[in-house]
Amino acid sequence: MSRIQPRIGSLSQKQFARAFETRLKGMHVYLDHAATSPIRPSVLVRYTKALEQIGNPSSVHSFGQTSRQMLEEARESIAKDLGCDRNEVIFTSGGTESDNLAVKGLYWHRRGQDLNRNLVITSNAEHAAVLDSVNYLVAEQGAEAYFVPLDDEGLLDLEDLARVLAERSDQVALISLMWANNEIGVVNPIMQITDLASKYSIPVHSDAIAALGHIPVSFAGSGLAAMTITGHKVGSPVGVGALILSRNQKLTPVVHGGGQERNLRSGTPDAAAASAFAIAVHEAVREQPSKQQLHAELSGRLIEAVKQMVPDVKVSSEKVERLSNNVHFRFPGCLGDSLLFLMDQNGVSISTGSACAAGVSSPSHVVLSLGAGVDEAMGTMRITFGHNSTHTDVDAFLEAFPKAYEGAKLAGLTRR
């Protein structure tokens, strides 16, 4: 047990054990939808039924062709909901694979056409799937990375981006900047970014995972060359996602084999998961306006109440356009890990940031990219709402928070 116990400041072994026991019994409030969202009831019905279908979608017999029809109907549905052509939907295993395929695939293709194009433009606030892909290209493939600076609210410096493009456009292989940040919720002006890049015919990739279902997302209207989405953040099973890739854009495959997905992604397609994914996307897009309004109400209530309890709390990206379902706090003088486990002990699941970094006691790279210090980046709490969130969830949070905060404050900033 001690080998996997997260670092939790000054919390005792007994407190950790109680929190773990509470999780095993089942949480009654879940406020970590940016990590993963519960499967939607309608999706579960479709998925379990689809799993009964026999046949490889690539097989020519009737079983295989029935699976193929299921797969292609899912592709058509997602294309309609996201404003793209059906042939632009490339099914993958999820967001990480899609980001890797986009960043590495675009870089390799562009570099193959012109050895001078070795510059990748991104930001320090990107998801690890993008940042690690870029870092790999720098370390192993001769790439150079340029990180667009952000202000203290998380907004990209578009004047700096325009300057770099004007000075070095002939060296740029691609730009990869997320549509909305999964930790702090800030929304990036994707259309302005693609407008800048279009002057130099530079492809832009965007991780739109946090944006899908929470703000309007249209691939055709975005000007993007590639866009990443995944299923489990909108209520489908884990393990299915897509890269939306423009018909006019080419890239080099990362995984080689049968070339089942437009010769760009190999592997037997999971038709059942794709079918479930399509239902989740459709419902998320259809409900987006009403859920955005509800989540704004929930976020507003939560922020106002926490500010009254902790006057010196900082709300990330509060002054700029941000996702209505995302609330990101920075609490001075206490660890986010302590808050997380004490809230968990009291029946409310939240997070400190990206689930991909969970269990690692280190400052948020996103908060650091805003110019914050290490202690501030260690004292974060992220609350994210989803398709089944209600005012009752906020009530439960506000009931549990005061005790958790006092405990975390007493634990302080001790890091072991």
The set of catalytic residues is 356
Q: Are 120 and 174 in contact (CB under 8 A)?
A: yes
Strand 144-147 relative to strand 204-207, pairing: unpaired
Q: Which amino acid is at 39?
A: I
Q: Please, are residues 220 and 83 in contact by the beta-carbon 8 Å criterion?
A: yes
CB 235 within 8 A of CB 283: yes
> With contact defined as beta carbons under 8 Å apart, do 266 and 256 qualify?
yes
Please say whether the beta carbons of 257 and 267 come within 8 A.
yes
- 207 φ, ψ to 5°? -80, 110
Task: Report how far residue 286's alpha carbon sits from residue 74's, in angstroms, rounded to the nearest whole number.
Answer: 16
Helix (H, G, I), strand (E, B) or coil at 389: coil
Query: DSSP string of 219-244?
Result: HHHHT-SEEEEESTTTTS-TT-EEEE
User: CB–CB of 383/350 below 8 Å?
Assistant: yes
Cα-Cα-Cα-Cα dihedral of 397, 373, 362, 227, to 10°?
80
One-letter amino acid of 88:
E
What separation in angstroms does the CA of 2 have from each of 5, 16, 358?
Answer: 5, 11, 16
